[in-house]
Structure 1
């Protein structure tokens, strides 16, 4: 079975089951604060091709004009609904549409914004971008509380680039070198367990 078929066999039934929940979340986001329901951000995908990553909006609609692209602690830009959506990871559900469109996979290195990809070391840049980016991976699980980890640091962006991103890249390279459908299944189940248990 190919990875693309694997993704579709899990994603399409999942979307059908989750559509009622997603409709409720969309209404909540719309009523909670002004702005669109979905947040679209340019990320770098396979082969360096940019695409619009989808999330339920969890911050003020003008958030990117008011602060950095990394979120730190109790960021005042986060909406009331966004606090719950981020903690529960439900803000990530629209990325299932990215998977259906072939821009992402269920499991793979998390896609970064272009300005952060520019900091990837040359020797691993092409390797990380040789596979479709994913909704989840082991780095996502390890850094699920990333915004709390960055709280209180003097320069969150520099800390992310110099301390957190290198660890994530190690995870990404390891995934690319060991990837298999069995590994994907294990990461999916581990992600589900972490989300539910927390």
Structure 2
């Protein structure tokens, strides 16, 4: 049921949001040199690598590290990058990953290829078996301001509590958090 819901919402979202996504891509290309999309190597379900698209918010010479490990990451943002991150519009291309089954709408955020510590902690609590999500229980409970240990604990809690009703609650909370731009780190 979850996969059918993910597919339906992702397909509908990609169709309805195509004009907006086209405008964002044009704005990125006008704002800074380089591609509009950034394909990040991420670990998905069972620690399998996949390429996850995002609208590019950083200069092309920015290091591929988690935001909290980049010294003065704000200085690496493109002119439009801060706005895209604050509004979470940079995440829209991930609907493609949901459509093809690499991601779900709700689940733990996919780990970067160089986050061995995160992957190991998720193995320990079983949340590595989940399909990663665009949003998740950790994102609505603090997102970028949480410690890695807190995120993983929340991923484990999601693993134990997951249900269609819980996913709907997380999606609703995500909408509220995005509108209020809560806990977003540049």
> TM-score over 0.5 for the alignment?
yes
Residue-by-residue CA offset, 1:150-194 (whole Å, 9 max, x unaligned)? xxxxxxxxxxxxx71110000100111111111111111110122
Contact 2:118–2:152 (CA under 8 A) maintained in structure 1: no
Contact 2:118–2:148 (CA under 8 A) maintained in structure 1: no
Count residues with an aligned counterpart. Answer: 179
Contact 1:42–1:52 (CA under 8 A) maintained in structure 2: yes
Tell me how large the CA RMSD over aligned residues is.
2.0
What residue in structure 1 maps to residue 164 of structure 2? 181
> Could you tell me how far apart the structure 2 residues matched to 1:94 and 1:18 are?
10
> Could you tell me how far apart the structure 2 residues matched to 1:123 and 1:55 are?
23
Match of residue 69, structure 1, among 66, 70, 79: 66
So what's the TM-score if we normalise by structure 2? 0.88
Q: CA deviation at 1:115?
A: 2.4
What residue in structure 1 maps to residue 184 of structure 2? none
Q: CA deviation at 1:117?
A: 3.2
Contact 1:44–1:117 (CA under 8 A) maintained in structure 2: no
Contact 1:124–1:173 (CA under 8 A) maintained in structure 2: no
> Could you tell me how far apart the structure 1 residues matched to 2:21 and 2:124 are?
34
Corresponding residue SS for 2:77: coil
Gaps of 5+ in 1: 150-162
What residue in structure 2 maps to residue 93 of structure 1? 92
